[in-house]
Structure 1
Amino acid sequence: MISVTDVSKRYGAVQALQGVSLDLRPGEVVALVGDNGAGKSTLVKVIAGVVAADSGAIAIDGERVRVGSPHDAQRLGISTVYQDLALCENLDVVANLFLGSEPRRWSLLRHIRMERATRDLLTSLDVRIKDIRVPVAMLSGGQRQSVAIARALLGEPRLVILDEPTAALGVEQTAQVLDLVRRLRERGLAVLLISHNLADVRAVSDRVVVLRLGRNAGEFRTAEATQESIVAAITGAAA
Structure 2
Amino acid sequence: MGPAHGHPEVTTLMTTTNDIAAEDTPVVELKATGKSYGNIRALHGVDLAVRPGQVTCVLGDNGAGKSTLIKIVSGLHQHTEGEFLVDGTPVRFSTPREALDKGIATVYQDLATVPLMPVWRNFFLGSELTKGPWPVRRLDIEKMKKTADEELRNMGIVLDDLEQPIGTLSGGQRQCVAIARAVHFGARVLILDEPTAALGVKQSGVVLKYIAAARDRGLGVIFITHNPHHAYMVGDHFSVLRLGTMELSAERSQVSLEELTNHMAGGTELAALKHELAQVRGVDVEELPDAAAVSS
Q: TM-score interval w.r.t. the shorter chain?
A: over 0.9
Look up the equivalent residue of 1:77 and give its one-letter code: G
Instruction: Report how far residue 187 of structure 1 moved.
Output: 0.3
Q: State which of 51, 72, 80 in structure 2 corresponds to 1:54.
A: 80
Structure 1 stretches of 4+ moved >4 Å: none
Partner residue, 1:215 = 245
Q: State which of 138, 142, 146 in structure 2 corresponds to 1:106.
A: 138
Correspondences of 1:15-54 after superposition (within 5 Å): 15-54=41-80
User: Which has the higher relative contact order, 1 or 2, with Cα contacts under 8 A spaced 6 or more apart?
Assistant: 1
The two structures, once aligned, show a CA RMSD in angstroms of: 1.7
Q: State which of 153, 165, 173 in structure 1 corresponds to 2:203.
A: 173
Instruction: Report how far residue 93 of structure 1 moved.
Output: 0.8
| C-alpha distance in 2 between matches for 1:165 and 1:128 | 20
Q: Secondary structure at the match of 1:130?
A: coil
| C-alpha distance in 1 between matches for 2:127 and 2:258 | 45
> How many positions carry a matched residue from both structures?
237
Contact 1:92 1:133 survives alignment (8 Å):
yes
Contact 1:66 1:72 survives alignment (8 Å):
no
Partner residue, 2:11 = none
Instruction: Report how far residue 174 of structure 1 moved.
Output: 1.2
Instruction: Report how far residue 226 of structure 1 moved.
Output: 2.0
Change (3 A) 1:60 1:17: same
Rg (Cα) greater in structure: 2
| C-alpha distance in 2 between matches for 1:171 and 1:43 | 27
Q: State which of 225, 235, 238 in structure 1 corresponds to 2:255.
A: 225
Partner residue, 2:92 = 66
Which runs of 5 or more structure 2 residues have no equivalent in the other structure?
A: 1-25, 131-136, 272-296
Contact 1:8 1:54 survives alignment (8 Å):
yes
Deviation per residue, 1:3-47 (Å, 9 max, x gap): 111211112342100111110100000100011111111011000
TM-score (norm 1): 0.94
Q: Secondary structure at the match of 1:80?
A: strand
Contact 1:207 1:220 survives alignment (8 Å):
yes
Q: Secondary structure at the match of 1:4?
A: strand
Look up the equivalent residue of 2:195 and give its one-letter code: P
Contact 1:74 1:155 survives alignment (8 Å):
no
Instruction: Report how far residue 223 of structure 1 moved.
Output: 4.2
Identity %, equivalent residues? 41
- Larger % of strand: which? 1
Deviation per residue, 1:127-174 (Å, 9 max, x gap): 121111110111111111111112222321110000111112122211
| C-alpha distance in 1 between matches for 2:205 and 2:261 | 23
Which runs of 5 or more structure 1 residues have no equivalent in the other structure?
A: none
Contact 1:29 1:190 survives alignment (8 Å):
yes
2:165 matched to 1:135?
A: yes
Partner residue, 1:237 = 268
